[in-house]
């Protein structure tokens, strides 16, 4: 089994509603030191051995991320 970690984040300039909500909520809870919260996705993928990173990128482009508004970064984390 091969494993990949995928980090999906909003592109620069795209509004991140959950992040903005968490940011304000933390400040309201008294965490005045918080200046920015961005919330993206952390995807842990397990695939058959020999699956290449291009194939995983294809999955990201088709389903796991929305390429119009999101960026993604793929990190191979070895066999599991």
Residues making contact with its own copies (CB under 8 A): 1, 7-9, 19, 22, 25-26, 29, 31, 33-48, 51, 55, 59, 62-64
Nearer to its own copies, 46 or 69 (CB): 46
Closest separation between CB of residue 72 and its own copies, Å?
10
Report the residue count for the chain: 80
Which H helix or E strand runs over 18?
helix 17-28
Closest separation between CB of residue 32 and its own copies, Å?
8
Residue 30, Ramachandran bin (φ over 0: left; ψ between -120 and 50: alpha; else beta): left
Nearer to its own copies, 42 or 68 (CB): 42
User: Which of 7, 67, 66, 17 lies closest to 38 in space, CA to CA?
Assistant: 17
Kindly state the greatest CA–CA separation across the chain.
49
Closest separation between CB of residue 11 and its own copies, Å?
14
């Amino acid at each position: 089994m091969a494993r990949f970690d995928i980090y999906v984040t909003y592109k620069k300039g795209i509004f991140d509603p959950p992040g903005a909500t968490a940011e304000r909520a933390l400040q309201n809870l008294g965490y005045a030191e918080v200046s920015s919260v961005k919330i993206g996705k952390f995807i842990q993928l397990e695939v058959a051995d020999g699956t290449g990173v291009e194939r995983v990128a294809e999955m990201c482009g088709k389903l796991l991320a929305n390429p119009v508004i999101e960026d993604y970064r793929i990190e191979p984390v070895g066999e599991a």
